[in-house]
Amino acid sequence: MTRQATSQGWRFPDLADDSQAAARAFQAACTPDLHLLDGPLLGSGPTARGATLPLEKSFVGLKVAPMHVPPFSLDEQLRQLGDRLDAAVSQVLRSGQYIGGSTIASFEAAFAHACEVPHAIGCNSGTDALILALRGLGIGPGDEVITSSFSFFATAEAISAVGATPVFVDVEAETYLIDPERIPAAITPATRALLPVHLFGRPVDMERILTLAGDHGLLVIEDCAQAAGASWAGRPVGSWGDAGCFSFFPTKNLGAAGDGGAVVCRDADLAQRVRELAVHGMPRRYLHTALGYNSRLDALQAAVLAVKLPHLSDWVERRRAIAATYLRELGDLPGLVLPEAGPAGHSWNQFVVRLAACPVEQPSCQSRCTPSADSATYGLPEACCRDWIKHQLQEAGVSTIIYYPIPIHRQPAYADLGYRSGSLPHTERLCAEVLSLPIFPELTSDQQARVIAVVRQLLGGVSATPADCHATLSIG
């Protein structure tokens, strides 16, 4: 594709007028070192060919603003499914059946089928799913539950909410998941269950977890909040343990239009207990046999989820393709540790890289890192380089998120458990290094090219030319 310099910016004679702005923005995103290689940078005076400009100034004077890449967006999904979602929601509104009813039952049956289990019970959130599963399995005061500290707070919070005590085990630095080798040392006479977290969509080795549980007579509750559509050894997550707990928060692989969750299981008695606990402990109307909760998945959310569920496998495949591109295009950068490709069943809810340190030979932060307040306050390794890179990405239009800056065992809410700084070294280091790059099924190839270009520019000044950038542009 040819291009011509004009007073308004680059013009591409092969494209229609309405495609010019997008082409200029994409060309900028895919240009080595994020500068224009031919002619002057418009509006900034003469610029020598090949001269590198500071990242934050790369687009000054251009008529096209740098592309903004969000960490997550539902815009395209809503464009594709909007009519069906509108119809499904309207049908519920017109039915007058907002709590319970056929819409709920239909979605629960479909979700159970997707998880390859007989039972699925909808509830208010992924947090409630964990609480209901723990309660349904009889876990309470005096019990200990072994889990990971590198997770969202709700993982441990649910254990505490039923009166039990979370016991944290360190993770594997390469997988970000609970280390099965460290679990036996944490088992005591009070241990009742293991609660593995399928973090960021990567499934835990459930065969090893079940072997450990069987050897010690323990229950297994799977935290599948971030892993809808994932599988281990060809079997869906949630179907391995005594119970699987899912979140339908909007950013999850299968997201509602608000909060929502589900417990899945194989045991009919457990399913009935969970179902009763979710409606005030009622086996039938106005008969209460236990102190339960008001934790129901409402029909509007079930209707939204029912429209989306058939697309889950395609969305997961798209996430895998995006992850594969990141792994291919960012694998040679100094100071950047990429996540392992993982097992075939990885569903890539997040693509989480590690910024272990600024490269010694060319510090990315240019010695401008500011010590992290969280590192000092919570006794964690210094996170300043990661934080600086995150800020620079944001300045360049690429939004990222840190999952998670403070591990659960170092949160003030769990100070009474006595976990000191350094007690879970892998977990603590990950919290100082991790950064999640944009990944969602509708992330476009040019948006991802922009992310790759900016990351490559920041880390070592390596030229940013993803293999498919210009091929995508030439399609027009």
Here the CATH number for the domain that contains residue 125 is: 3.40.640.10
pLDDT number for residue 369: 78
pLDDT number for residue 371: 81
Neighbouring C-beta atoms of residue 279, cutoff 10 Å: 18
Distance CA 57, CA 47 (A): 13
Is the confidence at residue 25, as pLDDT, over 60?
A: no
Rg of the chain, C-alpha, whole Å: 25
Q: Strand, coil or helix: what is 85?
A: helix
Q: Which of 88-97, 242-251, 386-395, 453-462 has the lowest mean pLDDT?
A: 453-462
Is the confidence at residue 459, as pLDDT, over 90?
A: no
Cα 160 versus chain centre, distance: 24
Is the confidence at residue 217, as pLDDT, over 80?
A: yes
Q: Is-contact 466 26, C-beta < 8 A?
A: no
The mean pLDDT value for 29-46 works out to 30
Q: Is-contact 183 212, C-beta < 8 A?
A: yes
Q: Strand, coil or helix: what is 152?
A: coil
In-domain check, residue 277: yes
pLDDT number for residue 260: 98
Is the confidence at residue 119, as pLDDT, over 50?
A: yes
The CB-side HSE value for 315 (13 A sphere, CA atoms) comes to 24
In-domain check, residue 195: yes
In-domain check, residue 386: no
In-domain check, residue 451: no
The mean pLDDT value for 329-356 works out to 94
DSSP 8-class letter at 383: -
Q: Which of 37-51, 204-218, 439-453 has the lowest mean pLDDT?
A: 37-51
Per-residue pLDDT band for 297 (boundaries 50, 70, 90) equals very high
Mean pLDDT of the chain: 86
Question: Hey, what are 206's tokens?
Answer: 């459930």
pLDDT number for residue 159: 98
Distance CA 403, CA 151 (A): 8
Distance CA 391, CA 472 (A): 28
Is the confidence at residue 283, as pLDDT, over 90?
A: yes
Q: Is-contact 244 267, C-beta < 8 A?
A: no
Distance CA 157, CA 243 (A): 17
DSSP 8-class letter at 287: B
The mean pLDDT value for 415-426 works out to 97
Per-residue pLDDT band for 50 (boundaries 50, 70, 90) equals very low
In-domain check, residue 265: yes
Q: Strand, coil or helix: what is 136?
A: helix
User: What is the extent of the structural domain holding 181?
Assistant: 76-310
Question: Hey, what are 181's tokens?
Answer: 């080798």
Higher pLDDT residue, 326 or 28?
Answer: 326
**Domains contained in the chain, number:** 1
Per-residue pLDDT band for 335 (boundaries 50, 70, 90) equals confident
DSSP 8-class letter at 138: T
In-domain check, residue 225: yes
**For 241-256, how does the pLDDT look when each residue is reduced to its tens digit (9 = 90+)?**
999 999 999 999 999 9
Whole-model pTM: value is 0.84
The mean pLDDT value for 119-124 works out to 98
The mean pLDDT value for 369-382 works out to 88
pLDDT number for residue 173: 96
In-domain check, residue 10: no
Is the confidence at residue 356, as pLDDT, over 60?
A: yes
Cα 119 versus chain centre, distance: 26
Amino acid at 93: L
In the chain, the percentage of residues whose pLDDT exceeds 70 is 80
Q: Is-contact 226 253, C-beta < 8 A?
A: yes
pLDDT number for residue 364: 58
**Beta strand 261-265 pairing with 231-232:** unpaired
In-domain check, residue 180: yes
Q: Where are the beta strands (DSSP E) in 313-470?
A: 336-337, 351-355, 434-437
**For 128-152, how does the pLDDT look when each residue is reduced to its tens digit (9 = 90+)?**
999 999 999 999 999 999 999 999 9
